[in-house]
Every structure is written in structure tokens, then in C-alpha cells.
Amino acid sequence: MQDRARMIAGNWKMNNGAAATVSFFEKLGSWLSADETGKGAAAAGKSGRIEIVVAPPFTSLAAAVAAKKSEYIGIAAQNAHFEPKGAFTGEISLQMLEEAGCKYVILGHSERRHVFGETDDLLQKKLDSTLGSKLLPIFCAGELLEERESGDTERVLERQLSIALANAAAADAAKKLTIAYEPVWAIGTGKVASNDDAQGACSFIRSFIGQKFGQEAAQKIRILYGGSVKPENSAGILSQKDIDGLLIGGASVEAESFARIIATAFGA
């Protein structure tokens, strides 16, 4: 078994206001403390074998930080601006997220890239600023359906990662960075990548990191898969050797299905 701690991360997107956030953590907390499987997950969390991460919308961050209780549950923001402050209406800085109690920030999610037009160059700035802050980035990369069909998956991953990581150091890759492979065609569509396809892309990402930053970084970096993960398919994906965890959208919004996915992630 690999020695990288697993990460099970839920990206709520624009779901769960503050009241729903409190009720989510009440349910998750009672599962972790009272249910037999949940107690196993809590023990895995306490011993550092798994880390649970939840990324609520900005206005629910304070409620999540107050309600989460456990140290092994980290709170992530879904996005951030690269400047520390200034005239950027509607934006939130990394320092504000740090002050709000976040540990992680998701960058480059496909909805940010394809719905809100975030470019590789913008994401490089965001990643550079995050690596210079106290927050830890969960950086998403992945190809569109037409790119997969034309055999361009690896070229796209290489382009996204080499631009984003142009200024990063080996120590950043080894100690701070988590990468999420999220094929765009699998996000919110119900079409999960096959275990082999997910493993193939994650293994490509690990070799890319190895070539750029050396073997130590390649062995330490955590690589997640995201795209239509459900309690029914999570164990198969997690059994792949280069997949260290999951970034879950729809199935993370309700505590019950998120807990069922967590249950497949420890000891597996």
C-alpha cells in the first residue's frame, strides 16, 4: 500500500448555504463518532491515513470552519484571486481565505476554465500566489471530450501543468501541491472515466512531475481523480495505484453519500 495519505475532497460548487452547511457537518460528525464504519474513518483520519476536505461556497466557509470539529477535516475554498487586496470587485484573496480558516484552495476547476474563461496564464498567477501563501493548492487539470477523442489527453495535461507549474519548485510539488485529474466530459455528466483511463492519466501526471521535479516529488505528490464519482464507483477508482484520492462534486453535497464514499477510502 502506498504511503501517501488519501484525500477525499468534496467540491460543493454553488450548493449548501450556511444553514445547510451546519446540518451537513452535524450528520457527518455523528457518522464519524457513532457509526461503526464512520468510527473507522475517524481513526484513519486521526492517524493521518486519510484526510477529508470540504469546499463550500464562500459564504458558507465560516459556518463550515465552526461546524467541522475534527482536525482531519480541512476546509477548502473553490477559487481565489492572485492579488492580496485591491479594486477587484467580487473577488476574494488568499489572505482572506486563510483568515477565514481555509487550509486548501481549489484552482483551475473546469467550470472556472470553461464557464468563466480562466486561462492557463491566469492559473499560473493563481498557483504562484497560492504557493507563496499559507494555503495549499488543489490544482485541477483535464481534457475536453473532443480532445480525448482526438487522442490529445496527454498533450492537454502537459500544457495545463507545464504553464501552471512554470515557476514552481520541487519542494512545492513535494510538500504543498495536490493535483486533481478531472476529465471535463466526466464532470456532472454521470460518465465516469474507466478505472484504466483514470489510472492512465494519473500515471502520466505522476511521470510529468517526476521529469520536471524529480522522483521524490513524484512519489510524494497526491493525485486525485474527479468526475462523476459516486459511492458505487469510488472503490474501483481508489484501487488504482497512481490515484490517491477523489474530488467529488454532486455526490459530496449530501453528508450521507459523501460518507459512503469516505467509507470506501480507508483500509482499501
Q: Which residues are catalytic?
A: 109, 182
State the nearest-atom distance from the C-beta of 55 to ligand PGA, in Å: 9
- Map residues 197-236 to x or -, x wherever contact with ligand PGA holds by CB under 6 A: -----------------------------xxxx-------
Q: Residue 221 or residue 237: which is nearer to ligand PGA going by CB?
A: 237
Tell whether residue 188 is a contact of ligand PGA (CB under 6 A): yes
202 forms beta bridges with none
- Is 249 near ligand PGA (CB under 6 A)? yes
Using the minimum distance from each CB to ligand PGA, give the nearer residue, 177 or 217.
Answer: 177
Task: Between 42 and 79, name the residue whose CB sits nearer to ligand PGA.
Answer: 79
Give the other-Cβ count within 10 Å of 69's Cβ.
Answer: 12
Rg of the chain on CA atoms, in Å: 17
29 binds ligand PGA (CB under 6 A): no
Angle among Cα 122, 126, 130 to the nearest 5 degrees reads 170
Using CB positions, name the residue nearest to ligand PGA. Answer: 249
Cβ-Cβ contacts under 8 Å for 136 (sequence gap 6 or more)? 103, 104, 105, 130, 176, 177, 178
Say how far residue 10 (Cα) sits from the centre of its chain.
Answer: 7
* Nearer residue to ligand PGA within complex by CB, 32 or 184: 184
Which grid cell is 134? 499559507
Of 155, 214, 209, 210, which Cα lies nearest the Cα of 179? 209
Three-state DSSP class for residue 165: coil
CB atoms near residue 90 (< 10 Å) = 5
Tell me the per-residue interface mask from 135 to 174 with ligand PGA, x by CB under 6 A, - otherwise: ----------------------------------------
> 3-state class of 145 per DSSP?
helix
Contact residue for ligand PGA among 118, 182, 242, 244 (CB under 6 A): 182
The binding site for ligand PGA (CB under 6 A) comprises 11, 182, 187-188, 226-229, 247-251
